Amino acid sequence: MAERPYIVGNWKMNGTRAMLSEARAIDRSSQRLMKVEVALAPPFTLIHAVHREVEQIGVGAQDCHSGTEGANTGDISASMVADAGAKFVILGHSERRQDHAETNALVRSKVESALEAGIRVILCCGESEETRDEGKAESFVARQLKGSLPESLDNADEVLTIAYEPIWAIGTGRTPTVEDISAMHRSIRALLVELYGEEMAAQVRILYGGSVNPDNAKELLAADEVGGALVGGASLTAESFLGIVLAAAEVQEQ
């Protein structure tokens, strides 16, 4: 586990102002668990409200456009989410890649745009079940990352986090074995070394995402090379999300 584990909740298309009380409860309890870095990515409509509601945890967006401004009805740029209070943005989530036909090239241009706007990127990658069954998971993820990562990187610890999220584990209650997760994270680390060099690569936290819950969090977070978790369903209530944050704090203390 990384020095300070990073636990990020992705609320996806969930949440109205009624859910601000959950964000507040997560924030207040996280203040007692300073060994863990906690963050929430609510829908665009709640970024500003969550930002105003919390004192300790980070607030981010779930996507942004690759451009800076202009005639793009319904889109939101990186500088706009930053203005609303977002400190990071999740990019390349499999739901965006699948449902909005996002290519690696588009994801890379979004990454560059976010970095330009001064916000940190959580870049998602992950294989389908079919690809894993064919024994091609690591080469698929390496290709995906090579196509989505920026050409160069400065201050990697402050600007980039990778989230490995096997598509077949998202929202299904199924997870890879800890051995498979560690093997994938090692393979991602090796790719980062190849792209950016040893020193820069060592600064990037690699999160695991896919059906993390308070019951399996300790085991998953203790896996070699896992620097935290990206959490979907279990981040929607303070009770379950804080169970994961607590598990991260316990693993960190071991």
Q: Which is nearer to ligand PEP, 210 or 228 (CB)?
A: 210
Binding track, positions 69-108, relative to ligand PEP; x by CB under 6 A: ----------------------------------------
Q: Which is nearer to ligand PEP, 26 or 234 (CB)?
A: 234
Say if CB 9 and CB 241 are below 8 A apart.
Answer: yes
Q: How far apart are CA 252 and CA 254, in angstroms?
A: 6
CB of 101 to ligand PEP, least distance (A): 18
Tokens of 69: 């401004």
- Active-site residue, from 127, 165, 185, 225: 165
- 165 classed as catalytic: yes
Query: Which one of 21, 171, 215, 224 is in contact with ligand PEP (CB under 6 A)?
Result: 171
Which window, 33-41, 69-77, 144-152, 206-214, contacts ligand PEP (CB under 6 A)?
Answer: 206-214
Tokens of 134: 């064919």
CB of 86 to ligand PEP, least distance (A): 17
- 93 classed as catalytic: yes
Q: Which is nearer to ligand PEP, 228 or 232 (CB)?
A: 232
Nearest to 237 by CA among 62, 26, 37, 59: 26
Q: Which is nearer to ligand PEP, 118 or 173 (CB)?
A: 173
Nearest to 56 by CA among 102, 24, 89, 12: 24
Query: Which one of 107, 117, 170, 223 is in contact with ligand PEP (CB under 6 A)?
Result: 170
Say if CB 200 and CB 150 are below 8 A apart.
Answer: no
Work out whether 210 is an interface residue with ligand PEP (CB under 6 A): yes
Tell me the CA distances in angstroms from 63 to 29, 37, 123, 162, 190, one per residue in order: 27, 21, 10, 15, 27
Nearest to 103 by CA among 95, 89, 92: 92
Q: How far apart are CA 193 and CA 198, in angstroms?
A: 5
Tokens of 44: 């665009």
Nearest to 124 by CA among 166, 154, 159, 88: 166
Work out whether 212 is an interface residue with ligand PEP (CB under 6 A): yes
Which SS3 state, helix, strand or coil, does residue 245 take?
helix
- Active-site residue, from 22, 51, 65, 93: 93
Work out whether 233 is an interface residue with ligand PEP (CB under 6 A): yes
CB of 210 to ligand PEP, least distance (A): 5
Q: Which is nearer to ligand PEP, 68 or 98 (CB)?
A: 98
Residues that bind ligand PEP (CB under 6 A): 10, 165, 170-171, 209-212, 230-234
Catalytic residues: 93, 165
